[in-house]
Amino acid sequence: MMNCGLVTENNYPVPLKSISVEVRVQDHVSTVSSTLLYVNEEERPLEALFVFPLPADAAVCHFSAKIGEQEIVAEVQNRETARDRYDDAVSSGRQAFLLEESAESPDVFRMSVGCLSPGQNAAVTIIYVTELVVQADHSLRFCLPAVLNPRYTPAGSGAGIVSEISSVCGAVPYTLTLSVHVSSPKPISKLESNCTLDPLVFLHSDHTQATVNLSPGHMFDKDVELFLYYQDPHQPSAIVEAGVATAPSGSLMRDPVVMISLYPEFPEEVMSSLATQGEFIFLMDRSGSMGEVMHHGKGAQMRIESAKDTLLLLLKSLPMGCYFNIYGFGSHFESFFPESVVYNQDTMDKALKRVKEMRADLGGTEILQPLKHIYSQPCKPDHPRQLFIFTDGEVRNTKEVLDLVKHHVHSHRCFSFGIGEGASTALITGMAREGSGHAQFITGTDRMQPKVMQSLRFALQPPVFNISVDWTLPDGVTVDTLSQPINVLFQGQRALIYAQLKGESSGGFEGKVTVKYRLKDKPVTNQLHFCLKPTGETGLSVHRLAARTRIRSLEQEERSCGADVESIRSKIVELSVQAGVSSVHTAFIAINKDSRQTVKGPLLQRRVPTHGRRMLGQCLPLASAWQAPIIFSSVLNGQQPAQSLNFERRATKSKSLLGRLFQAPFKKHAVEAYSHQIQQQRMGFCYSTLSMERRKPQPIGNCRDSRESHQAKSLGEQRDPLLQLVSLQKASGCWDLDVTLADAFGKTEDELTNQKPAQVEGSVWATLLALIWLYGCKIDQRVEWQFVAMKAASWIRSQKVGDLSECVCVGNVLHGCQVTKDTLGI
């Protein structure tokens, strides 16, 4: 089955007309039902191919198609069997539907809608369940992926579903409607979104149920994000879900399943002092895509410029005496230092100089090699390694990357950041999960700095050791834990445990789960009592999430196992089929056995485009930017599938640029030009358009027409007063009393020096003024400068200058603030 997707919306109608999504949120679990309407407006039967994103941790549990009044419900089968049945059905003229997960990345799916008759409609429904991720501000994040960017493919990789990703520059030719219903045992405080919503409607006076709709006109230019805020979100909870009586005895679907949500609370005396040691490694994406803007609103920075500002804050926030290094990666990687160095004034200055020079000029997105290099470096004794990874998350070998991170989980913690729309949730959340860290997504108008500093606070929390989970259950009941062992606990972050309950109670109906661990050599115990009786109407969402969790564990075990691969694969297929949940070795297949039509010649194939970023600068006339690489790569590799040849014949009749490319004598030159362009891209250059004349290559970071207006100032010329002030802080935490500091405050140097109390040394006065300004003028950005202020306060205390009450009063007058001495922590 050829999947070349060589069709433009200008030449042929796109068969997908609309997507309708219904979301039902129950506490922190969401069930998402998406209905996609296909219409064949052509004169011949066709096959529609659609590669699209889903959340990385989604458990796809239903796939069906409705043609007229007839509904066909798909079943889960072995992947190869399902593919063979689909091909047989389509080739014999029957309608068939196939849904399969990418083997390279679990957040990418392909749907094939086969043998649609001329004029025929088909409404295809996909249902999945997923957990909502807890954010640093305690909200729950739901994301409906609408943007699917092309995944970078390392050299030598084979073909797969992710290689078929197609994206367009403008609006996609289908519409989206979205409705959300929220119910929770806790009152709903508010609901926010990065998209325009209709007003939130509460269904009950206690605010435990509400509905909201996406306002019409969504352009598919960004993922749809919803942020739910509950009252008292950190209460631990347990949901017990009854099994299916008709399922095989002893199976996961037959027995009850419990989902435990824990929110560990660490003792205050432990949390009051953050770690002062560690090895901090920052791995920054410098591929060409980092030259894109963060968003398309007013004043948007380029991603690489926002990343540079973030590195400034991170470097200023590190504790004295720790170790650090910074890596940049693209098609190759480079590091600031041969190995991690001690953090002091000299090394910080050298690093900041390199940060100023950073550009999005390293080509593709090869993240695997720099990770291997970092892990090959010996860890520093008594300095736990903390790895911060920044990327727009578009790699193809996702599972290989995750396996590598997991293999080294005992030597580090990994904090990952997905930058921009369409970042791979599988990669970003997976690296944090396998690396016992925390994941953040920076989308829309989000600022990168506060989210990164929130993760730095997690990294500076003392590590948790010897985590154990114990169950206390009535006689006759045993437990089989389905989740992987808990490797990490952070203050206020949720930990989920899925377990299968076996047997029948001979007495009580209360269970207890106890989590024990050591924190800074102190034993800590958290307990949760729960009722074994099933909880209300939950459908089978808990069972499916539990099955998904177990399947993911088995898939990873299969990749790391040498001998028993077939046995593990058999377990995956068996559990996937029993639970009706997708896996890498199964697929959903639906065949309309009542349909049959005469098909002469191959079916027309129509690729449904998804919205994504432009790959080669500007759009091609009458052709999306994704098409030319597929066409030319087929020719360059000596492969000419039927779709390529058919498209070539049609293109030679076209007056478009793409048509002229295939007309002699231009064809050979076009192929040579494209080959040259690919080589230049790998070397860090790109072209503003694909044309017949070779243009002067430009650095990838400057490939936008509007680049002049978006290019931010270098770190030495920051206009943001906060970043300007932070850039002047010494590694020890103090500031110098000079004209640059006065300029950051909007004062003259004389104004600062003339007001200085006589008994106070200049650096102490300067540092005190900086603290007063931060607390008095930038309190709303405290999460960004909190560690800068902690270092400053600690430095002042180390100077032993006596009572500073008079200095604080004078500083308040100078800045027009009313900050107390106690607030400053001095």
pLDDT tens string 80-93? 999 999 999 998 88
Q: How confident is the model at residue 505 (pLDDT cuts 50, 70, 90)?
A: confident
Q: Is the domain of 224 the same as that of 317?
A: no
Residue 404 has pLDDT above 60, yes or no: yes
Give the residue-averaged pLDDT of 584-598.
85
Q: Which residue has the higher pLDDT, 753 or 12?
A: 753
Residue 608 lies in a domain: no
Q: Which alpha helices (DSSP H) does 410-514 contain, by range?
A: 425-434, 448-460
* Distance between CA atoms of residues 462 and 517, nearest Å: 12
Structure tokens at 63: 């796939």
Give the residue-averaged pLDDT of 645-654.
33
Residue 602 lies in a domain: no
Q: How confident is the model at residue 137 (pLDDT cuts 50, 70, 90)?
A: confident
pLDDT given at position 684:
38
Last residue of a domain, one of 654, 681, 710: 710
pLDDT given at position 657:
32
Three-state secondary structure call for residue 624: coil
Last residue of a domain, one of 413, 437, 460: 460
pLDDT given at position 670:
40
CATH number of the domain to which 230 belongs: 2.60.40
Q: How confident is the model at residue 114 (pLDDT cuts 50, 70, 90)?
A: confident
Give the residue-averaged pLDDT of 727-738.
95
Q: How confident is the model at residue 194 (pLDDT cuts 50, 70, 90)?
A: confident
Residue 674 has pLDDT above 50, yes or no: no
* Distance between CA atoms of residues 301 and 464, nearest Å: 38
* CB contact at 8 A, 814 and 769: yes
pLDDT given at position 53:
85
Residue 685 has pLDDT above 60, yes or no: no
Residue 668 has pLDDT above 70, yes or no: no
Residue 764 has pLDDT above 80, yes or no: yes
Q: How confident is the model at residue 108 (pLDDT cuts 50, 70, 90)?
A: confident
Helix (H) or strand (E) holding 649, with range, is helix 642-652
pLDDT given at position 105:
83
Q: Which residue has the higher pLDDT, 357 or 272?
A: 357
Three-state secondary structure call for residue 723: helix
Phi, psi of 351 (to 5 degrees): -65, -40
Q: Which residue has the higher pLDDT, 232 or 17?
A: 17
Q: Which residue has the higher pLDDT, 610 or 757?
A: 757
* CB contact at 8 A, 499 and 480: yes
Q: Is the domain of 250 the same as that of 227?
A: no
pLDDT given at position 625:
26
Q: Is the domain of 455 the same as that of 469?
A: no
Last residue of a domain, one of 710, 743, 764: 710
Q: Which residue has the higher pLDDT, 787 or 642?
A: 787
Model pLDDT for residues 292-340, shown as the tens digit of each residue:
888 777 778 889 999 999 999 999 999 988 999 999 999 999 999 999 9
CA 403 to chain centre: 17
Number of domains in the chain: 5
* CB contact at 8 A, 513 and 260: yes
Residue 452 lies in a domain: yes
* Distance between CA atoms of residues 355 and 353, nearest Å: 5
Percent of the chain at pLDDT > 90 equals 43
Structure tokens at 507: 């007495």
Percent of the chain at pLDDT > 70 equals 79
Q: Is the domain of 448 the same as that of 588?
A: no
Helix (H) or strand (E) holding 104, with range, is none
Listed range (224-228, 239-243, 358-362, 611-615) with the worst mean pLDDT:
611-615
Q: Is the domain of 585 the same as that of 508?
A: no
Strands 477-481 and 495-503, sheet pairing = antiparallel
Tell me the C-alpha to C-alpha distance, in Å, between residue 589 and each of 92, 99, 334.
16, 7, 46
pLDDT given at position 471:
95
pLDDT given at position 539:
81
Q: Is the domain of 152 the same as that of 25?
A: yes
* Distance between CA atoms of residues 456 and 178, nearest Å: 35
Q: How confident is the model at residue 131 (pLDDT cuts 50, 70, 90)?
A: very high
The contacts of residue 414 (CB under 8 Å, 6+ apart) are 387, 389, 405, 431, 432, 434, 435, 436, 437
Q: Is the domain of 257 the same as that of 301?
A: no
Residue 752 has pLDDT above 90, yes or no: yes
Residue 139 has pLDDT above 60, yes or no: yes
Give the residue-averaged pLDDT of 611-622.
37
pLDDT given at position 159:
53
pLDDT given at position 465:
80
Residue 696 has pLDDT above 60, yes or no: no
* 47 beta partners: 605
Q: Which residue has the higher pLDDT, 605 or 151?
A: 605
* CB contact at 8 A, 571 and 565: no
Listed range (212-221, 454-463, 583-592, 626-635) with the worst mean pLDDT:
626-635
Residue 758 has pLDDT above 70, yes or no: yes
Residue 62 lies in a domain: yes
Residue 656 has pLDDT above 60, yes or no: no
CA 5 to chain centre: 26
pLDDT given at position 297:
73
Q: Is the domain of 36 the same as that of 83?
A: yes
Please tell me which of 58-62, 91-95, 162-166 the model is most confident about, judged by mean pLDDT.
Answer: 58-62
Residue 8 lies in a domain: no
Q: Is the domain of 347 the same as that of 455?
A: yes
Residues in the chain: 826
Residue 605 lies in a domain: no
Best CA proximity match to 416, nearest among 402, 404, 431: 431
Model pLDDT for residues 448-490, shown as the tens digit of each residue:
888 898 889 888 887 788 889 999 999 999 999 999 888 778 7
Q: How confident is the model at residue 655 (pLDDT cuts 50, 70, 90)?
A: very low
Q: Is the domain of 355 the same as that of 441?
A: yes
Residue 679 lies in a domain: yes
Residue 572 lies in a domain: no
Q: How confident is the model at residue 600 (pLDDT cuts 50, 70, 90)?
A: low
Q: Is the domain of 455 the same as that of 325?
A: yes
Boundaries of domain holding 397: 277-460
Q: Is the domain of 642 the same as that of 582?
A: no
